[in-house]
Amino acid sequence: MPEITPDSGHQTVITTFETSPGTCQDLLDALRAAYAEFISKQPGFIAAGLHVNDAQTRIANYSQWRRREDFLAMLRSDEMRDRNRRIAELCRSFEPVLYDVAEVYP
């Protein structure tokens, strides 16, 4: 489970995908497969969540990693580079951004 606290030391990655209602489900399937078959098995992976807006034009992905280097190693792997090429075909754009938790309000 993710640990969302400012002092966890974990790396948070939020990725937004701009898509269309016609390709949203295909993109979601590709992301689910990427997590089930590859990403979740990588060193340093903690947890992730996929969120779809009502209009099915955006998917937001929240993931947490033990260290920034773990995420970057996964992203640079040959398998993930191949998967990202397929993912890029299913959306107009996507951008992973690395964050540190600044504050949490229960």
Asked if the structure places residue 70 within a domain, the reply is yes
Asked if the structure places residue 3 within a domain, the reply is no
Tokens representing 20 are: 């269309």
Supply the pLDDT for residue 99: 96
Asked if the structure places residue 78 within a domain, the reply is yes
Task: Report the domain count for the chain.
Answer: 1
Asked if the structure places residue 1 within a domain, the reply is no
Asked if the structure places residue 62 within a domain, the reply is yes
Asked if the structure places residue 52 within a domain, the reply is yes
Asked if the structure places residue 44 within a domain, the reply is yes
Domain extent at residue 78: 11-99
Does the predicted TM-score (pTM) go above 0.85?
Answer: yes
Binned at pLDDT 50, 70 and 90, residue 3 comes out as confident
Tell me, what CATH number does 85's domain have? Answer: 3.30.70.100
Of the candidates 69, 70, 52, the residue with the CA atom closest to the CA atom of residue 61? 52
Asked if the structure places residue 33 within a domain, the reply is yes
Supply the pLDDT for residue 2: 75
Average pLDDT over residues 58-68: 97
Binned at pLDDT 50, 70 and 90, residue 1 comes out as confident
Mean pLDDT of the chain: 96
Average pLDDT over residues 22-46: 98
